[in-house]
Amino acid sequence: MADFKAALAADAAAVSDFLDARIGCDLHPPLADAMRYGVVGGKALRGFYVMETARLHGIGRALPVAAAIECVHAYSLIHDDLPAMDDDDMRRGRATVHKVWDDATAILAGDALQALAFELIGEADFPGDVRAALMMSLARQAGVAGMVGGQAADIAAETAAVPFTLDEIIAMQGGKTGALLTWSCMAGAMMAQADVAPLKTYGDAVGLAFQIADDVLDVTGDAAAVGKAVGKDEAAGKATFVSLLGLDGAKGRAVELVDQACDALSVYGDKGAVLKDAARFVVNRSH
């Protein structure tokens, strides 16, 4: 676990420094400040997965791609926090972007981060067909067939006459949370033009386990430690993994998924050890 935590911290710092320098433009300073504010301060777990799966395949120039996925993730959070969507005042232990600035600036900062993500991949030091594959797959995973579609389903669930079933929750979270995590896990294999199947299996399992852990933290977590409001799903009467499986059942399901994720890494032998620790971290984290 020490190797994983060191890699996570190092990759987060590298991504943060890279984006701090890249966003440091003089065209619209308030917008650049909001972009920078929104993209730093998190775990950068998706960026880590890009970097680690690249290392797994002997790729050492993955930083722009790792920064790209963190831009897409940050844009999704900035927009999700807006009053028209999840209406959150806190994110990552501090005020959300629209609270520090305003709704319009938050929308534009998210838009700009999304555009920057594809610019970064377009500039990355890979053959054109690799860059095209990365951009096309990210667009698919971030769009209506992935993250955005999952967010739309999540909003619909709030006013649904009948609470979502377990299968519907799994499908929704597979888009909302899982799509970008799975892409991050496959990115290294895509950069190396290698088989993505083992890392897709790993990413799908980790993505679902991550969301189950989020549902558990919404019930058991402390807002100061989690860095955002807790108890919102229960207050809204939304169906979650905890409400459908019970607290112990949800925790048990997350552990099963981690085991599945680790089994998928068997093809990499000892080289997959850090990724196995990353999967265990997903279900044991406090934020």
What per-residue confidence (pLDDT) applies to 223? 58
Tokens of 60: 């050492």
User: Using an 8 Å Cβ cutoff, are 106 and 163 in contact?
Assistant: no
Contacts of 193 (CB under 8 A, 6+ apart): 130
What per-residue confidence (pLDDT) applies to 219? 84
Between CA 16 and CA 26 the distance in angstroms is 19
Q: Measuring CA to CA, which residue among 233, 236, 256, 257 is closest to residue 174?
A: 257
> What structural domains and CATH numbers belong to the chain?
2-284 (1.10.600.10)
In degrees, rounded to 5, the angle at the alpha carbon of residue 168 between the alpha carbons of residues 232 and 77 is 45
SS3 state of residue 109: helix
What per-residue confidence (pLDDT) applies to 287? 63
Instruction: Name the stretches of the chain with pLDDT < 70.
Output: 25-26, 221-238, 286-287
Between CA 144 and CA 233 the distance in angstroms is 23
- Quick: pLDDT tens for 17-51: 999 999 976 678 899 999 999 998 889 999 999 99
Q: Measuring CA to CA, which residue among 143, 84, 82, 87 is closest to residue 110?
A: 82
- Quick: pLDDT tens for 85-134: 989 999 988 999 999 999 999 999 999 999 999 999 999 999 999 999 99
What per-residue confidence (pLDDT) applies to 286? 66
